[in-house]
Chain A
Amino acid sequence: MTGTTVAATDAASGLPAVPLQDTVLLPERIGELTGLDGFGLGGELLATFLAAFLIGNLMLAMTGVAGPWAKRKITAAFTDRIAVNRLGPAGLFIIVADSVRLLSKELIIPENADRPAYDLAPIVVAASALLGFAVIPMGSGLHLADPEVGLAYVFAVSGIASLGLVMAGYASANKYSLLGGLRAVAQNIAYEIPLVITGMSVVIFAGTLQMGEIVAAQHETLVEIAGISIPTWYAFVNPFAFVLFLVANFAEVGRNPFDTPEAPTEIVAGYQTEYSSVHFVLIYLGEFLHIFLGGAIIATIFLGGPAGPVLPGIVWFIIKIWAVFFATQWLRSAVPRVRIDQLIEIGWKGLLVLSFANLILTAVIVGLIA
């Protein structure tokens, strides 16, 4: 493939063409820039690895900022406090201090822990989220792969996290962990179905599972008000599906009001009770990655991916996933936790029914128009 970028034009709104999306994926570009593409399969693999390294670190850096710093600052803003402000500008260097602190803590492993599972669980949790980012088009050329089953792939790999939570839950040999693990499974099963079904309604609109195509399909103009064109982001086209997806997503990543698997006041810390030091960091990292992955999926299939005026695509993309992160922290500060039985009830009796209704409705509408 040649290195030319195809700029999508927005003919309907008459606005100047905005470079929307690169059809050239990141590994290919890296291969081209470094000359690795001349080395056959080996070079291609190396280029892919470099690209994955880049994207993985970008995401890890964001969780690094989010965990020790942004979370504190946002919560503090909601609760009339200041939070970290001693190290560096606005306390940003706390990230370094916290990293050192967390990594230098004693690694305590329970006597009866089921060793391989206990050690693997944090890796499974963190890795499953990282894998998901592979197919997310982040704009500005940051897009690792664009398989035809992109959306299904994302749901599949992020679902692996449930496995990690169960492993963490039972392998810790702690009753609180076990309760947390069981809750996590019950919750993930209950909410993954509405999540996927609601995602399907987007697929019906877009006619494809390919992430790049879904983003491209959201680039037309829905309505134009006073010269500002509202694009056909699926959040605008079908706000109902958007809200459903958002709710199911909060439950899926286990954030308030659905944070029952770790519910500090009830079951101490749920499946992560017995994890310390590096293990703890990995689990925590995995949770934040999942929030960001959830945000990335929402941004991609409902908020037009990296689309947005003036600023480069990646900036818009990061703004959108941080907006979702911000929403989780807002809910954390303001909304009580639902009880586990109520949570399951909302999932099976409420969201599931609504998501199927939405799916059928969408199918009917799309069928009538097309």
Chain B
Amino acid sequence: MSLVPGDPALVPTPAPTRVPAPGQAPDTGTALPGGDRADVVPGRWRRAAGPVGRGLVWAVVAAVPLAFLAVFFLWPVGSMLARGVTDAAGQLDLSAFAEVLAESRTWRLVGQTLGLAVAGTLGSLLLGLPGAYVLYRCRFPGRNLLRGLSTVPFVLPTVVVGTAFRALLAENGPLGFLGLDQTLTAVVLAMVFFNFSVVVRQVGALWSTLDPRTGEAARMLGASPWRTFVTVTVPALGPAIASAGSLVFLFCSTAFGIVQTLGRPGVGTLETEIYIQTTAFLDLRTAAVFSTLQFVVVILAVTLANRFRAGTETALRLREPTSHPLRRGDAVPFAVTMLTVVLLIAAPIVALVARSFQSSQGWGLRNYELLGSSAGSGFAGGTTVLQALEHSVKIALDATVITLVVGVPLALLLTRPVRSRWAARAQRLFDAAIMLPLGVSAVTVGFGFVVSLVASAPQLAYSGALVPLAQAVVALPLVVRSLVPVLRAVDPRLREAAAVLGAPPGRVLRTVDGPFLVRGLGLAAGFAFAVSLGEFGATTFLASPDYQTLPVLIVRLLGRPGEDNYGMAMAGSVILAVLTATVMLVCERLRPRGAAGTGAGF
């Protein structure tokens, strides 16, 4: 596998000597032996009480995220899926499965779903890898701006993206000559548009901390740049690539808006079929069968990715993130990245921004001036865009707090060193399962809420109080995904050393894990905030009409006639995009030096 078998950086060492940021090391290693020796009480009685008591504590810590997921994810989704395997009387009945699985159309749906998702994932990886290198490993003016820009698509409402893409690709549009309007290619391009930054961030963050000397050694020993890349760099990046790939696959396989709007979907995908069966035919049994199929696809994908990730996860020698000025050899990845960013990412955004400055009175700020009022033509009363923005920000703050309250204990649990095989297996299983909310249809979740939470507590549901909770479910996987790698970077020997020296577990947590956690927290919070800000699917089901969020209002504005409504939708989208990009940039800045950790992109 390695060109340089002797290189210590590539040889998996049983206990990696990972040096965190220079500024952090004293917190962990040196603080303990000094003043904390007094804590060491060599009493045997502690040994007896320890494991039981600690198990109890962790059980309590585990209870928060588990209860949260049970109530806000498993219950709603479970109530929907249960309808696929029961008849009207509630008895087990698998006939719906037999019927659906016997149809050849079902398998065409599965095929098209997989085809589109694989194409979208490969496209995102192919363009995202050079992007990760250029935007995280190289240094040039404007780099941070490009990083921020590439995040924008992530939170734009799909309806707006559909409109922006179609404005470019439609027969009369500037790129109409490509003939891509309403083709599957357009759908795949939109998937790459949305997910490019997922790959760039996740892979880039790890890439920037790889020790360049390994590659240099390979080059010195006569390997070509390509050979070095394939045999040294790619294997080292394996975990991040697998992790990003599985995230992108989940997003692509549940894509709805862009498949409907941009493609002439023909048979459609599992996601569009679930939507149609649920909303058009109210055939919840059939919808549940398709939801289950989707679930199976997602579980297979997550399992595969996890296996791949586990297979490539080796101890890496990481260091402070480094970047170098652009070199001659970077020409190809740089060109690829610039083309991607300009043509694929920026073009639709520029079209959107340009359109937001056009109104019935020509170019100008009219659309923006209208945002604070409800005076545009054909728009009387109701929430204004600025009010909706305020609602969105407040709800997103709530959702961020909830996500962190749930996500931090979860991430700690998942990275605890455990002894028993059973516990390790449970950890791995849960680590994979936490991704599932991303792989479940928004319609399934939305109607699931209706038959579970809304049915049980209607007044609570109608008050809109469930909105931040539902958004937290959507943000949780990304938050856990961004915290876990950072915590895994903690050398277990540090914890052990601290414990041997007598630091109580609380103190180990605070002084060893704490600094790592704090590093990841800023970015995790940023993601939670950004995801909540852009969330549409669950929000539209649960938001109180008096407390609409910006994405929901944008979509509703687009559903009303009148140029002013259209203009306000565009201007509102631009504001949403600018806000998100700013939040992400700030969170990245807030991250202390050297906190890139291992693949903390998501």
Whether A associates with B in a native complex is: no
